[in-house]
Amino acid sequence: MWVRRAAIRPVPSYAQVPARVLSEIEDQLAEDDDDSRKQLDDAFTRFEQTQPALADRISSVLSGPLDETALALGYFLTLAIWLAFDELFGQDLDEVTETALTGVEESLNLDEQIRLHDPAEAVDSDDVIAMEQPDVLAFVQEHLDAALEANAHEVDVDDVHAIYRVVLIEVLALSYAVRPPSNWVALTTEFTA
């Protein structure tokens, strides 16, 4: 339940990704053999085919002038997050349209503006997203912190921020693209929160 204003829509509980799925995906991505590389290539192809608007948006960020740490982090996080949603929801994950993607981006921008102009606001927009997808944001933060710590003197913080922002957009867009289960009865607090 929100105690402050927010422009970011709540994520329904049925669309939350548990830590165990993210851990399984991380283990799959850590394998480094020919079979694993082929599965990774296949996953990229599937991602581009099933989520073309999202893949284009991510690709445009990743093709920018980024340092190596930010680029590696971007590829890993964006693929891991999509794989987690794809693994967990499969056919119940709709395609994220360009309109939906723009809507998510605009709501994140608006939320950041609300927080920037309210000196009493104690949480950032990514904290709001963490309330909605706690395990996903914990996973992202863990890898972000590890990359920054390991490469503290070489990393361009602005590049990492660009990656972080596109990851936040991806998390929200995919969360909203999950179809409700057929037996889903929404609680009124999810609509009034």
The pLDDT > 70 percentage for the chain reads 90
Contact 47, 55 (CB under 8 A): yes
Spatial separation of the C-alpha atoms in residues 57 and 76, rounded to whole Å: 15
Q: What one-character-per-residue DSSP string does the chain give? A: --SS--SSPPPPGGGPPPHHHHHHHHHHHH--SHHHHHHHHHHHHHHHHH-HHHHHHHHHHHTSS--HHHHHHHHHHHHHHHHHHHHHHGGGB----HHHHHHHHHHHHHHHHHHHT-TT----HHHHHHHHSHHHHHHHHHHHHHHHHHTTTT--HHHHHHHHHHHHHHHHHHHHTBPPPTT----HHHHH-
Spatial separation of the C-alpha atoms in residues 160 and 171, rounded to whole Å: 16
Full-model pTM: 0.86
Spatial separation of the C-alpha atoms in residues 45 and 22, rounded to whole Å: 20
- Position 189 scores a pLDDT of 46
- Position 14 scores a pLDDT of 94
**Pick from 96, 69, 65, 71: nearest CA to 171:** 96
What digits encode the pLDDT tens for the residues 7-55? 788 899 999 999 999 999 998 888 777 777 777 788 889 999 999 999 9
What digits encode the pLDDT tens for the residues 128-163? 888 889 999 999 999 999 888 887 777 888 898 899
- Position 149 scores a pLDDT of 84
